[in-house]
Structure 1
Amino acid sequence: MSTLEEHVDVSVPLDRAWEGLHRIEDYPRFVAGVRDARAEQAGRTHLDIEAGGRSREIEAEVSDRREQHVVEWRTTGAPDLAGSFSLQPIDDGHTRVQARVEYDPGALRDAFGGPRGFAQATAIERLVRSDLEHFKDCVEQGR
């Protein structure tokens, strides 16, 4: 498994950033490739994704550790992905959003295509960084 960690500082209080992460239906606004997202029963989330010219439906289990301001998730089928978002207050009006993604590069390539090796890692890093920047824009604009 490979691990990627990225963060972005947002100009909103921690509670507002937390709420933004929990509006699953808004994920298509800031997560590249997500065409539809919905929360389901028992901490499950359903995502319709298009990446590398391929469409997939992905189910994930999501759990909150609200007292630590952490959301953890794991796909329930292929591709095997896991990760977390942790929020850290910087001050009353600013929050750091830390994203951590664990993935199997081969399984991800099999599922969605794309480059191999270092090029794949670089592409995933750019994608996660871009998604965090889009989240920042959405949550700061109140969308």
Structure 2
Amino acid sequence: MSQVKESIEVDVPVTTAYNQWTQFESFPQFMDGVERIEQRSDTLTHWVTKIGGVKREFDAEITAQIPDEKVAWVTVEGEAEQSGLVTFRPIDPAHTEVTLMMDFDPEGMAESIGDKLGFVDRQIKDDLKRFKQFIEDRGAETGSWRGSI
């Protein structure tokens, strides 16, 4: 199992950053390699990704969700094994630190080499930069889900 952890400061309040993160179907707008996400229930999402030419489909279950604090998930079915946690920490009323931590199991030699070369770390860092630009350019979230899991 490999691990990655990246953080970024976004220039929006914690509620805005958190609310946008709960809009999983918007992830393809800022996550490279994510083709589609379907929110199937409050706790289940279906992902279609294509990274490095490898297409995968999997379901992820949200295992914990606390408004303005965190969202955690684990894959439950499909072609990827991963779990993760994104946390939101208010820096001040207008700025938030977003931290994304993932555990994943690279499959095959190409993915193992890419992981060792830091490809996944760079991918996560770049995705967070695109999230920052996405939410700051909008200035407001595209929606929200404020329930707790």
**Residue in 1 aligned with 2:105?**
104
**Residue in 2 aligned with 1:82?**
83
Give deviations 1:39-85, integer Å, cap 9, x for gaps: 11250011111112122211100134315711001111332100010
Q: Distance in 2 between matches of 1:68 and 1:15?
A: 5
Q: Distance in 1 between matches of 2:104 and 2:65?
A: 22
Q: Distance in 2 between matches of 1:103 and 1:27?
A: 19
Give deviations 1:88-129, integer Å, cap 9, x for gaps: 000000000000000123x3x47xx4461621xx10000000
1:125 aligns with 2:125: no
TM-score, scaled to structure 1: 0.87
Identity %: 28
Structure 2 vs 1, CA of residues 64 and 114 (structure 1 numbering), >3 Å: closer, same or farther? closer
Q: Runs of at least 4 residues of structure 1 off by over 2 A?
A: none
* Candidates 136, 140, 145, aligned match of 1:140: 136
- Partner of 1:139: helix, strand, or coil? helix
**Residue in 1 aligned with 2:51?**
51
Structure 1 residue identity aligned to 2:70: V
- Partner of 2:87: helix, strand, or coil? strand
Structure 2 vs 1, CA of residues 34 and 60 (structure 1 numbering), >3 Å: closer, same or farther? same
Stretches of structure 2 that go unaligned for 5 or more consecutive residues are 143-149
**Residue in 2 aligned with 1:3?**
3
**Residue in 2 aligned with 1:13?**
13
- Partner of 2:132: helix, strand, or coil? helix
**Residue in 2 aligned with 1:62?**
62
Q: How many residues align?
A: 137
Stretches of structure 1 that go unaligned for 5 or more consecutive residues are none
**Residue in 1 aligned with 2:95?**
94
Structure 2 vs 1, CA of residues 114 and 65 (structure 1 numbering), >3 Å: closer, same or farther? closer
Q: Distance in 2 between matches of 1:72 and 1:17?
A: 15
Q: Distance in 2 between matches of 1:26 and 1:40?
A: 14
For residue 12 of structure 1, report the CA deviation from its aligned partner.
0.1
